[in-house]
Amino acid sequence: MLTKGLLYLSFLVTILVVLNLWLASQINWLNEFLKSTSILALSFVAGLFTSSILGNVLAYQIIIKRRDVKEGDRVKINEIYGDVVSIDFFYTHIRNLDNEILSIPNLILLTKGIKNFSKMDNVVIHCPLTLTHGTDFQKAKKVILKAVEKTEGVDSSKSKEPHLWIKEFTAWTINCEVRAHTKNVKEKDQIKYQMTENILTALNKEGITTGRD
């Protein structure tokens, strides 16, 4: 009888151990499942924050709050240059100098950065110029700077006066660059065009030729 009772007890203990192990395996599986589900959920949320949908909306909120740009600003983003037409939840719309409307995802504005010319007091206009060897450089310099100073919109104040820099000598040419300041930030491209025209006209009038590499 005792032996039979021990057998029953052993059988019961064995069943309980097996059941306990099974439950433990189920709990571990459940824990792993919950853990995996949590990771997937977090990944999903992170994906939403970096996606082109929610990410652009969040970028819009940051741009508006920080006031990085506003409508009417003259900006440069990567190689895109022009005026901000509008900013919505997903895109910032820019009108370039060819009168084309380009739409840039707001996330790009945050990740690539914005050069906002409208927030600058003045900008530097860079105008490349090539002179041929044999040119009287001092005479050419005087003619060039005088033409630049006569250009409307160029700041000729003492601290901002135009300069002519020699950048490189080649076998046949002297490569230079004219640098001038302007406070008319939004008009800098038109000023550069007029400045270049004034320089070439003045040089031709003095019989000074320009050349190319």
Number of folded domains in the chain?
2
Does position 142 have pLDDT exceeding 70, yes or no? yes
pLDDT of residue 189 exceeding 80: yes
Helix, strand, coil shares of the chain, percent, nearest 5, are 50, 25, 25
Where a domain ends, among 119, 151, 172? 119
Residue 38's pLDDT band (cuts 50, 70, 90): very low
Q: Is residue 88 part of a domain?
A: yes
- Judgement on whether residues 186 and 169 belong to the same structural domain of the protein: yes
Sign of the CA dihedral with 44 first, then 64, 73, and 101 last: positive
Confidence band of 13 (pLDDT split at 50, 70, 90): very low
Quick: pLDDT tens for 48-93: 555 566 777 778 888 888 788 889 888 888 888 889 999 988 889 9
Contact, 155 vs 180, CB < 8 A? yes
Whether 204 shows a pLDDT value over 60: the answer reads: yes
Task: Flag whether pLDDT at 178 surpasses 50.
Answer: yes
Is residue 166 included in any domain, yes or no? yes
> Residues 177, 157: one domain?
yes
Domain housing 131: 123-205
Domain co-membership, 132 together with 110? no
